[in-house]
Amino acid sequence: KQTLLPLLRDESSAFVFPCRLALQRPELKHMVMELLRCIPLLLFLIFVCGLDHFIFGVLSIIQNHSFVQYSYQTSHHMSVTVMGTSLMAQLLRSTIGALNSSFETQVETSNLACLPKPHGMTRQQYLNTCLPLAALALLCLAQVYPFRLRRAIATFYFPKREKTRVLFLYNKLLRQRKNFFQLQRRRIAQRARQPPGLGTSLLEWCSQHWPWLRRCQRLSCTLCGTPGTPWHQVCPAPDCGALYCDRCW
């Protein structure tokens, strides 16, 4: 709770606050990992759509440039004429005359039945193919909000376990904060031992001679860098003048 242990700026970024609508840093890391898992599916979908378009183009070329049509036409006429009026001539006309025939043949054929008949996918079909992947990506973005309910559900069913977890987290934060402040004290002490730069010395000299220039200086917290406000505390040590915000102080 805020009244029990107010979090510092660096500490609050490591926690998830369920009531905030914005995505927070721990959730962003998990969300990015989920989105990275969608990349293989996206690459596979692009490969399949590209392969489909390539095969359709090849079959269309075959259909347009491999059409062959054959036209076959023939005629046959046979006529036997027997001259004369004798008995033999009449007999030959009655027998050989049956051989007289006449016919014409015209055949047209093509390989149209053997050619492929490809049908390309429409934009709507491509859109319907990509919709599941888009829905999966949206679920990766929206899953962070249902995941916030996990702790509330666990608290409802295991209240004693929740108290143990809160106590452990509280002690862990106290240890981390103690180590953090010790580290910051050493860092500030090391910075104080270093000689001031030319720009800093010039600003201090100008501030001593023209006190009204101090209003134009941009003051910030020595630890967290928060811009200075009237509620910031100034270190009471002589010749220090370091500025701290209320939490860091």
Q: Could you tell me if 76 and 103 are in contact, meaning their C-beta atoms sit under 8 angstroms apart? A: yes
Residue by residue, pLDDT tens for the chain (249 residues) are 556 677 777 778 888 888 888 888 888 888 899 999 999 999 999 999 999 999 999 999 998 888 888 888 888 887 777 777 777 877 877 777 777 778 888 888 888 888 888 888 888 999 999 999 999 999 988 888 898 898 889 999 999 999 999 899 889 988 888 887 788 788 877 877 777 666 566 666 666 666 655 556 667 777 777 776 776 788 887 777 777 877 777
Span 73-87, pLDDT tens digits: 888 887 777 777 777
Six-digit token pair at 227? 């811009």
Q: Reduced to 3 states, what is the DSSP secondary structure of residue 105?
A: strand
The span from the CA of 6 to the CA of 1, in Å, is: 7
Q: Which of 212, 211, 222, 219 is nearest to 244 (CA)?
A: 222
Tally of CA atoms within 13 A in the half-sphere of 54 that contains its CB? 6
Total number of residues shown for the chain: 249
Q: Which of 117, 81, 111, 106 is nearest to 96 (CA)?
A: 81
User: pLDDT value at position 56?
Assistant: 92
Q: Could you tell me if 54 and 65 are in contact, meaning their C-beta atoms sit under 8 angstroms apart? A: no
Q: Which residue has the tokens 């180590």?
A: 179
- Report the alpha-carbon angle 218-224-225, nearest 5: 15
Q: Could you tell me if 9 and 224 are in contact, meaning their C-beta atoms sit under 8 angstroms apart? A: yes
The span from the CA of 229 to the CA of 169, in Å, is: 31
Say which residues have a Cβ less than 8 Å from residue 207's Cβ, sequence separation at least 6.
Answer: 213, 214, 217
Q: Which residue has the tokens 């509620």?
A: 231
Q: Could you tell me if 133 and 42 are in contact, meaning their C-beta atoms sit under 8 angstroms apart? A: yes
Say which residues have a Cβ less than 8 Å from residue 169's Cβ, sequence separation at least 6.
Answer: none
Q: Angle 159-193/149-157 helices, nearest 10 degrees?
A: 130
